[in-house]
Amino acid sequence: MIVAILFPLLYVLLLAVPPALAADGAASDSASGAQPKTSSALTPETPPAACRDCAGVQYFRPSSPLTPASPLTPALSRQGRGGEKGQGRGLSGAPASPGQSHLSSDPRVRTARILVGRNRFPEALEILRPLAPDHPDQTDVRFLLGLAASRWSQVPGLEDEKRLALLDEAIAAFRSILIRRPDLVRVRLELALAFYLKEDDSLAREHFERALVGKPPAALAANVQRFLTIMRARKRWNGYFGFSVSPDTNINAASDAEIIYIQGLPFRRGQEGRISSGLGLVGWGGGEYQYPLAERWRLRTGLNLNHREYKGSQFDQTFVGGYVGPRWLFSRNTEMSLLATASQRWFGQYSFNYDYGARLEVLHRVYAGLQLNGRALWSDRKYQQQKFLEGPLMVFSLGASYVPFPIMQVNALVGYQQQEAVADRWDSTGYWTQVGTNVALPWGFTVGASAEFRWTDYKAGWFPFLGDNTTPREDQTRILSATLLNRAITVFGFSPQVAFSNQVRTSNAQLWDFKRNLVEMRWVRQF
């Protein structure tokens, strides 16, 4: 009954609404002065070489006059340093001219600003590079340095190695400003543009979306929307990996109860199945490639891997999963994927179970800062030894990601799960909800917190864990998590993050409750 309700709701919410929203977005682009689009909202299919003219935004060429053709101009408004009001109000809608007064009174900085305005980027960088480490107006100097490096990277004829080095220099300059002042929207826009030019689309998209929440001028927002459209169309490769050291107080999620009651009589448990703690090494990674089939169609193929290892091998865990299937760019803001999936899990040195099935994914961008996603999964789960657990699994979930401010993100998720098994008592129905947030603070710190609650109901037949065979088993699980990241510390683009998780499951069945504290010292991708 619940499944029959959830699936139509998922379809109506995430598929029926997008065409109207896409039409509104097109009207908005027209009103804001954006260039008219062709018959396809996804063109151009392939951006020009090195993205030097992407989305109709012309970058500054040597010996050409500074022009207001692009809202992303090499000029820092008077409010760009420490004076932004509200959410990004310091971002000027019109480009500043070379004669506009600058925040820094240092004549060298003023000279560099003029050189940037005249597209003499190498000369400007010669002045700015020695000043950046310890100049009292570091925000101004590093902003100009980032602009000069980013704009120079787009000069025709530049070698790829030199171009990438300049973009890395620009990214480092903008990033150093945001470490201290994560609220500066103009700096975040330029950082996003540098990532875009480097074709690091995942990071570019994240910062563009956050900057749009700061309500930049309409012309600039229109350009950003075109950047987002191009990134969506040109997406090919995507990958990730990471590792952590993880102390765990309850590796096997076992109950700490020492006494079990059977027919009212107490019995002391043996050592088998008791709590085990230890220090784990965790590694994870994966990647995806999207092959273009047509203008709005891609073929997605991906692989995910996760391995957790402890002293000895009894509690080692390994997961490998893969998928393949079409991705349909339904409209400018909506996409859908239908994927065939397969996965296998190992515990210790032995294969535990494997799954094969299908997954439907729907993603819809309501507006800048708000994104909805839905997922429906069906799989047939097989076990190597515990055959009584085999059966089909269905999972449905609806999620939302909201960025109320450029420095803050909020995520929410609700889900439903139904598992059937050969042994009737293992048939289960589950519900869960999760909410979390992360906030970028000054001096490079990012803090996060989340709470997850799960309810799982099983059929009857749990004697001696329950007093009789007619009472169903009911579990409730609570997971509280917190993270602390320092963006100012990086090693090869990765920053240290400490994550803490407190997990508690309560059950009306004996030995199925547990408590667990898990700490992870991770290295995660920076910006």
pLDDT tens digits along 253-271: 888 888 888 777 888 887 7
For the chain, what is the mean pLDDT?
80
pLDDT at 42 over 90: no
Residue 283: inside a domain, yes or no? yes
How large a percentage of the chain has pLDDT more than 70?
Answer: 80
Are 44 and 193 found together in one domain? yes
Residue 228: inside a domain, yes or no? yes
Report the domain count for the chain.
2
Residue 1: inside a domain, yes or no? no
CB 384 within 8 Å of CB 353: yes
Residue 441: inside a domain, yes or no? yes
Are 212 and 355 found together in one domain? no
Domain CATH number, residue 179: 1.25.40
Are 447 and 514 found together in one domain? yes
Q: pLDDT value at position 55?
A: 33
Are 471 and 512 found together in one domain? yes
CB 211 within 8 Å of CB 189: yes
Domain boundary among 234, 259, 286: 234
- Going by C-alpha positions, the residue among 22, 329, 49, 368 that lies closest to residue 205 is 368
pLDDT at 72 over 50: no
Are 187 and 305 found together in one domain? no
Are 151 and 255 found together in one domain? no
CB 93 within 8 Å of CB 219: yes
Distance CA 392, CA 427 (A): 10
Are 381 and 516 found together in one domain? yes
Amino acid at 139: T
Domain CATH number, residue 288: 2.40.160.60
Are 296 and 442 found together in one domain? yes
Q: pLDDT value at position 526?
A: 61
pLDDT tens digits along 406-445: 999 999 999 999 999 999 999 999 999 999 999 999 888 9
Confidence class for position 76, pLDDT limits 50, 70, 90: very low
Burial 415-440 (b: 16+ CB within 10 A, else e): bbbbbebeeebbbbebebebebebeb
The neighbour count for residue 391, using CB atoms within 10 Å, is 16
pLDDT at 166 over 80: yes
Domain boundary among 206, 234, 262: 234
Residue 415: inside a domain, yes or no? yes
Residue 293: inside a domain, yes or no? yes
Q: pLDDT value at position 315?
A: 87
Domain that holds residue 491: 237-525
238 vs 474, higher pLDDT? 474
Distance CA 332, CA 18 (A): 9
Are 427 and 507 found together in one domain? yes
Residue 137: inside a domain, yes or no? yes
pLDDT tens digits along 465-505: 998 889 999 999 999 999 999 888 888 777 889 999 999 99
C-alpha 148, offset from chain centre: 29
Are 119 and 173 found together in one domain? yes
pLDDT tens digits along 45-69: 233 333 333 333 333 233 333 333 3
Are 476 and 389 found together in one domain? yes
pLDDT tens digits along 336-368: 999 999 999 998 888 999 999 999 999 999 988
Domain boundary among 203, 234, 265: 234
DSSP lists the bridge partners of residue 338 as 360
SS3 190: helix
Residue 420: inside a domain, yes or no? yes
- Distance between start and end Cα atoms, the chain: 44
**Angstrom distances, CA of residue 149 to CA of 102, 135, 159, 182:** 19, 18, 14, 21
Q: pLDDT value at position 8?
A: 47
* Cβ neighbours of residue 97 closer than 8 Å, sequence gap 6 or more: 66, 75, 117
Tokens of 433: 């909800």
Are 318 and 450 found together in one domain? yes
Amino acid at 144: L
Half-sphere exposure of 274 toward its Cβ, with a 13 Å CA cutoff? 8
Q: pLDDT value at position 100?
A: 36
